[in-house]
DNA sequence: CTGAGTGCAAACGTTTTGCACTTGC
DNA sequence: GCAAGTGCAAAACGTTTGCACTCAG
């Protein structure tokens, strides 16, 4: 993925710190602020938490990344992509994406509520395959 | 609803403050900490935020209430009940429950991911009927 | 060259803690 | 009577802000 282009497309200046943040997010899939700070410090030992927060907020405002609020956990951040849902393993805390078509759910809810729906935040919790085997 | 019984069933002592908190939650449907504090102060003018937090946490731990994390908003709390999903109006911030069967979604995700799913957190965002009319 | 980004320290709002006192059971 | 809950003040925590300096465009 070309992060320089990605930043420019979202009207954000390209800085080494931002490239590092995006690379880490992409590699990990989802990271919370603390995880991100620990990792980014390895590359930029003098980076400050303030800079991290400012960049996260700038990228959120420009919809370059999205925040995922998770029951009983800290928010995680991911590079914005097509709509999808999230799965959380309650044993090992694995957190993954799943692509699934939610049109029928949205249609049904739309019908019942008369809401015009535009966005969804879906997190399902359970036990992953590996943890079931234990 | 009998809140005294509800508290006892969840192994929590019955106090006037707790009864007040539960009554407010039930009447409003969902409240965030700040809203709850403003309202409960009208009944117990000397109640402290610490007490409110301690009670919210105690009730959460005993699954008497649940926390709903909402994108771009503060968490709200509601008295625990059968699984359901939430709708948020992005214009007027109305926040409502909807009962909808999510078995087919859960089955599909379960099949794809091999997760054993046990819990769901679903918030759909859009525009309510009244706001669409404006 | 100029506006935006960075890093630091201080401030801020929210939540938790410790403690003395009170209350439910 | 005793464990648990309450209210207060202080502390802890996560996040934001102001400012001087640096850097991207």
DSSP sequence for chain A: --HHHHHHHTT----HHHHHHHHHHHHHS-B-HHHHHHHHHHH-TT--HHHHHHHHHHHHHTTSEEEE--TTS--EEEE--S--EEEEETTT--EEEE----HHHHHHHHHHH--EEEEEEEEEEEE-HHHHH-
Distance CA B81, CA B79 (A): 6
Give the C-alpha distances (Å, rounded to integers) separating A79 from A9, A26, A63, A89, B43: 14, 7, 9, 21, 46
How many Å separate Cα B88 from the centre of its chain? 13
- Residue B76 CA to nucleotide C24 C1', Å? 29
Distance (Å, rounded) from C-alpha B41 to C-alpha B47?
Answer: 6
Residue B134 is predicted with a pLDDT of 86
Contact B127 A116 (CB under 8 A): yes
pLDDT of residue B18: 98
**Residue B133 exposed, middle or buried by CB count within 10 Å (0-12, 13-18, 19+):** exposed
Q: How far is A45 from chain B (nearest CA, A)?
A: 31
Residues contacting B48, CB < 8 A, separation 6+? none
- For domain B3-79, the CATH class is mainly alpha
pLDDT higher than 90, residue A38:
yes
Domain boundaries, chain B: 3-79, 85-132
Cα B74 to Cα B33: distance, rounded to the nearest angstrom = 8
User: Using CA atoms, how far apart are residues B99 and B83, in angstroms rounded to an integer?
Assistant: 8
Tokens 């669409």, residue located: B132
- Looking at residue B26, what is its pLDDT? 98
pTM for this predicted structure: 0.95
Angle between helices A16-28 and A33-43 (to 10 degrees): 120
Whole-number pLDDT of residue A82: 96
pLDDT surpasses 90 at A26:
yes
Distance A122 CA to C14 C1' (A): 26
CB contact at 8 A, A127 and B115? yes
Residue B112 forms contact with A (CB below 8 Å): yes
Q: Which helix (H) or strand (E) holds B125?
A: strand B116-127
Residues 31-70 (A) near nucleic chain C, CB < 7 A: 44, 46-48, 50-51, 54-55, 58
Averaged pLDDT, groups of 10, chain B, 134 residues long: 97 98 98 98 98 98 98 98 97 97 97 98 98 94
Contact state of A118 with B126 under an 8 Å Cβ cutoff: yes
Average model confidence (pLDDT) across chain A: 98
- Chain D bases near protein Cβ (<7 Å): 4-10, 14-18, 23-25
pLDDT of residue B127: 98
The answer to whether residues A117 and A110 touch, using CB atoms and an 8 Å cutoff, is yes
pLDDT tens track for A68-109:
999 999 999 999 999 999 999 999 999 999 999 999 999 999
Alpha-carbon distance B116 to A126, whole Å?
5
Domains B3-79 and B85-132 share a fold: no
Residue B107 CB contacts under 8 Å (≥ 6 apart), including other chains: none
If one looks up domain B85-132 in CATH, what number appears? 3.30.1490.190
- Tell me the mean pLDDT in the region A28-55: 98
Residue A134 pLDDT: 87
Answer yes or no: is pLDDT of A116 > 90. Answer: yes
Query: Percent of chain A at pLDDT above 70?
Result: 100
Task: Give the distance, in angstroms, between residue A46 CA and nucleotide D21 C1'.
Answer: 15
């Amino acid at each position: 993925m070309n992060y320089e282009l990605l930043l420019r497309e979202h009207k954000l200046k390209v800085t080494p710190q931002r490239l590092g943040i995006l690379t880490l997010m992409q590699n990990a899939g989802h990271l919370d602020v603390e995880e991100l700070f620990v990792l980014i410090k390895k590359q930029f030992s003098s980076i400050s938490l303030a800079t991290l927060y400012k960049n996260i907020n700038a990228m959120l405002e420009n919809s370059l990344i999205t925040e995922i609020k998770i029951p009983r956990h800290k928010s995680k951040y991911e590079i914005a992509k097509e709509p999808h849902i999230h799965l959380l393993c309650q044993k090992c805390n694995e957190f993954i994406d799943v692509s699934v078509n939610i049109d029928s759910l949205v249609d049904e809810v739309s019908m019942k509520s008369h809401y015009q729906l535009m966005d969804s935040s879906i997190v399902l919790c359970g036990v992953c395959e590996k943890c079931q085997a234990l």
